Amino acid sequence: MTQIIQIENTSTDHLDLLVKKQRDFFNSTQTFDIKWRKEQLKRLKKAIEQREEDIYQALQNDLGKNRVESYASELVFVLKEIDYTLKNLRRWALPESVPTPLFLQISSSKIYYQPKGISLIISPWNYPFQLALAPLIGSMAAGNCTILKPSENAPHTSLLLERMLKDIFDERYIALAQGEGKKVVSHLLQNNQFGHVFFTGSTTVGRKIMEMAAKNLSPVTLELGGKSPGIVDKKVDLKTAVRRLTWGKFYNTGQTCVAPDYLLIHQDVKKETISLIKNNIKEFYGDIPLQSPDYGRMIHKRAFDRMQQLLNENEFQIIHGGESNAEALYVEPTLVETDDFDTDLMREEIFGPIWPIVSWKDEEELYELLSHHPNPLAAYMFTKDKRLWKNFVRHFSCGAACRNNCIVHLANPHLPFGGIGESGMGNYHGRNSFLTFSHEKSILSSNSWPDPSMKYPPYKGKMKWLKRLLG
């Protein structure tokens, strides 16, 4: 791992100046023009393409990511999101005609999509390129100015973003604030009203963001996490199920908000499932994952230490892995068996390469186990039983769910991405990003005639006619 570089806080004076500059620029209405918005998105795409190798290197330095994984999970995701937005933006931005009730005739009703103003985007470290730029694309598409606060825990990617955005955009339009989130974000939220605040991160910090944003009534989208379950039924293509789940769990070294955080395996296939997981880990990363160019690292020492703390609990049995290397921030893909949900391992989102395994015998027990962690960001059920799947979709509350697949729902721009309850509020991707950063302004336009007298006082004798008209 490359030595961590230090990032200084953007001064509070400069933060205040940025907000003022962006408010003035937004009030000029230049960002309202659709053609201009598309030109800015094209500039962003070109800048990303020109810096492809630099992006791979920054992600390698911060997370130990293989360039293939960086391309698939970060770079191409952002490029495809820009392409999809460019293709559809003009249509999304058109006023939408909606019906007008008979008693309001002769009038027309439309919804106009208006920019909200200045967006504040607070992005995390686990996918530091994608999760900074994907919401930025939505803010730009909607016609806003934006201040982006990337994570100081991915400093190489944060500096790359800063230099790239400075090269292509005036800070009156797009600016980047660096430094410790606790100080920089707190100052921004407590001293300014934003058109929209978009936060991706932990539930604990999400609560604090919402509390601070409430002071100035800034609307908030929270993309959080939670313990997303992976479920393996006995009626299943087991080899495919295990391969996809293992890939999803250890992708980005388990540092993925929609990773299958724990695994619920039907008791009839538990032994075979565990054997297949072990085989897949070996197939993916070799006998010694520490030496694999395809297996990443924990983001920083605090994350590494937390994994060690979780592994030092005594309420479970390690059945595979468990090795670590503090200097390399390496934690081996690790499987543990447990039935105790009253431990940190089973209470908290793991966000690392430790995989708890729990067995279940029937549908009643499955839902009892799932009840320990309601409203996760995602859920994955592998089954050929259509009745079981339909019941699951109907009864289990989660941000999103996949049948016979894992984490790939993120790649469909037609599907909204977001959580519910503890896993967040609001959504984005594709048109949903445009809607999140837009104000849906209701417009009713009427003729001067007719102008029935029954709606005006005095009201004596008018009730029966009013009931006929409105009833």
Catalytic residues: 223, 257
Closest alpha carbon to 352 in 230, 469, 227: 227
Closest alpha carbon to 18 in 194, 171, 198, 136: 171
CA 281 → CA 242, 262, 383, distances in Å? 10, 16, 22
Measured distance CA(132)–CA(134) in Å, rounded: 6
Pairing between strand 229-232 and 334-337?
unpaired
Measured distance CA(440)–CA(443) in Å, rounded: 10
Pairing between strand 196-200 and 438-446?
unpaired
**Order of all β-strands in the sheet with 96-98:** 96-98, 107-115, 438-446
- Quick check: helix, strand or coil at residue 290? helix
Closest alpha carbon to 133 in 69, 73, 212: 73
Q: Which residues contact 340 (CB under 8 A, 6 or more apart)?
A: 315, 316, 346
Closest alpha carbon to 346 in 330, 369, 323: 369
Measured distance CA(458)–CA(356) in Å, rounded: 72
Q: Which two tokens stand for residue 288?
A: 């010694």
Q: Taking a C-beta distance cutoff of 8 angstroms, is the pair 190, 212 a contact?
A: yes
Q: Which two tokens stand for residue 126?
A: 């686990």
Q: Taking a C-beta distance cutoff of 8 angstroms, is the pair 10, 177 a contact?
A: yes
**Order of all β-strands in the sheet with 174-176:** 174-176, 145-149, 118-122, 196-200, 220-223, 424-425
Helix axes 34-50, 130-142, angle to 10 degrees: 160
Q: Taking a C-beta distance cutoff of 8 angstroms, is the pair 306, 300 a contact?
A: no
Q: Which residues contact 360 (CB under 8 A, 6 or more apart)?
A: 264, 265, 266, 267, 366, 369
The rounded radius of gyration (Å) of the Cα atoms in the chain is 25
Measured distance CA(111)–CA(105) in Å, rounded: 17
Measured distance CA(409)–CA(381) in Å, rounded: 13
Phi-psi group of 196: left, alpha or beta (phi > 0 → left; psi -120 to 50 → alpha; rest → beta): beta
